[in-house]
Amino acid sequence: MLVHTDARRRWLWTAAAAVAAYALLTFAVEITWPPLVEQDAVVSAAAHRLALEYPAWRVVMSAVTRTGDTVVLLSVLAFTLGFLLRRRMLAHLAFVCAAVAASAALRLVVHALVARDRPEGMLALAAGWSYPSGHTSHFATAALLLFVLVWPLLGARWQRVALVATVGGWAVLVGASRVALVVHWPSDVLGGWLVALAAVPLAFMTHAVRINHSRP
């Protein structure tokens, strides 16, 4: 895959902006910055009331959040890696592995260092620390990977619009479901999105450089 300089520059700026935003948000969470804490509490309280008042909403959000479960995403990852391996698309295989590894590293290190408690009154089972949201970062990473891999295969404008709407919209829904079920603070979800927005472009840049260097 040939990656033009302008495209690489856009990916670089996306990664840099996401890393900077993630660092600032993490700092705000770590020092329990009052405006952030207050806004998180307000949104979580509203989400709790909404879920209790409308049980059907809770059922829908529970169904959405299950699409981001580890078992589901690992199955999709295994299928993708197997497909790329069978097609001998080794550069793409390396890109996917690098993105997944970068996403996991960016999340797990901060996850352990910040050790943020989850909201009270959770409406679904959840274990571990709260920040950043694992469901959100995992699904957003998968969505971005799908976007990068599928986009070049689509020629019609409507196909690309449909891809962005479907993949992007579902990634937003999964993150929102974590807040709706009161298992994460809103800033946890924002952190998860930023992890994906940093990890995938960083991996893509490495992928692009390696591909270009391998060209005769």
| Structural domains counted in the chain | 1
Q: What is the pLDDT of residues 114-144, one digit of tens each?
A: 999 999 999 998 889 999 999 999 999 999 9
Q: Looking at residue 4, what is its pLDDT?
A: 57
Name the residue range of residue 148's domain. Answer: 5-214
Pull the structure tokens for residue 77.
Answer: 């990852």
Q: Compute the distance between CA of residue 84 and CA of residue 50 in angstroms, rounded to an integer.
A: 43
User: Max Cα separation, the chain?
Assistant: 64
Q: Is pTM beyond 0.85 here?
A: yes
Q: Looking at residue 22, what is its pLDDT?
A: 98
pLDDT band at 6 (very low <50, low <70, confident <90, very high): low
Q: What is the pLDDT of residues 11-62, one digit of tens each?
A: 889 999 999 999 999 999 999 999 999 999 999 999 999 999 999 999 999 9
Q: Compute the distance between CA of residue 177 and CA of residue 192 in angstroms, rounded to an integer.
A: 13
Q: Compute the distance between CA of residue 75 and CA of residue 29 in angstroms, rounded to an integer.
A: 32
The three-state DSSP-derived secondary structure of 34-69 is: HHHHHHHHHHHHHHHHHHHHCHHHHHHHHHHHHCCC
**Mean pLDDT, to the nearest integer, of 63-82?**
91
Q: Compute the distance between CA of residue 210 and CA of residue 3 in angstroms, rounded to an integer.
A: 11
For residues 168-181, one letter each, b for 16 or more C-beta atoms within 10 angstroms of the residue's C-beta and e for the rest, the string is: eebbbbbbbbbbbb
Q: What is the pLDDT of residues 162-194, one digit of tens each?
A: 999 999 999 999 999 999 999 999 999 999 999
Q: Which amino acid is at 55?
A: P
Strand ranges for 58-130 from DSSP E: none
